[in-house]
A and B are shown apart, each in its own frame.
Chain A
Amino acid sequence: ETGVTQTPRHLVMGMTNKKSLKCEQHLGHNAMYWYKQSAKKPLELMFVYSLEERVENNSVPSRFSPECPNSSHLFLHLHTLQPEDSALYLCASSQDAFGLSTDTQYFGPGTRLTVL
């Protein structure tokens, strides 16, 4: 595997389900990100992890819970989601843990989430 991978690519879940999105980067990077992309809206940054520590949390509802067990893996745990949470969830990584905003971010293919 190369680059940034995400699983699953598609997910349909009910409002009472619990599921997790997985992201893995094979680039040796030190920072990882979760973004939400809704129709007709700009990309929204949700979380940033640098060297496995959460450094940004952009007022995301608690029904989204990130986890970064090591610098190569990032999870997004989902529970009791709402239909408006349906979106494309993109993971990204970047090389430098300290130049977070200016470093090039490399993105995975995304998970298309539908909440019924």
Chain B
Amino acid sequence: AQKVTQAQTEISVVEKEDVTLDCVYETRDTTYYLFWYKQPPSGELVFLIRRNSFDEQNEISGRYSWNFQKSTSSFNFTITASQVVDSAVYFCALAGGSARQLTFGSGTQLTVLP
């Protein structure tokens, strides 16, 4: 069975602080994919990144960066110099060959205060 754990239910930071959202996953598949989505108050899930299990290089996209560590089954997401517009619920998700559906974590509510 696949499982995604986002232990941080809510995080609150002040604008310009850096913040890291944790994601730990469980799977028996050797090939799998990890995702991050952002859900602002409007409701739409916005795709941020997709990473396959064979690519452990860290990724940076503007103020966003992702740290994939297979050894600890983690795929953490860092926002540098956070902004109020980053306030949203962030979901980590896992997809693998044995499961025919995307498994989502419970989400982390990030609030960035001005």
Contacts and interface: CB of A to CB of B under 8 A. Distances in A.
Do chains A and B stick together as partners? yes
Interface of A: 42-43, 45, 48, 55-56, 58, 88, 90, 92, 100-102, 104-110, 112
Interface string B4-41: 00000000000000000000000000001101010000
A41 to B, nearest CB: 8
B71 interface: no
A6 to B, nearest CB: 9
A104 to B, nearest CB: 5
Contacts of B45: 90, 92, 107
Given A43-B91, A56-B101, A88-B43, A104 B50 contact: yes
A104 B50 CA distance: 7
Contact of A104 (B32, B47, B91): B47
Interface residues of B, number: 23
Contact of A48 (B35, B47, B101): B101
Contacts of B43: 88, 90, 109-110, 112
B91 A102 contact: no
Interface string B30-65: 001101010000111111001000000000000000
Contact of A45 (B37, B91, B101): B101
A96 B62 CA distance: 28
A48 to B, nearest CB: 7
Contact of B44 (A43, A58, A110): A110
A106 B46 CA distance: 7
28 contacts: A42-B105, A43-B104, A48-B100, A55-B100, A56-B100, A56-B101, A88-B43, A90-B43, A92-B45, A100-B101, A101-B95, A101-B96, A101-B97, A101-B99, A101-B101, A102-B97, A104-B35, A104-B47, A105-B47, A106-B47, A107-B37, A107-B47, A108-B44, A109-B42, A109-B43, A109-B44, A110-B43, A110-B44
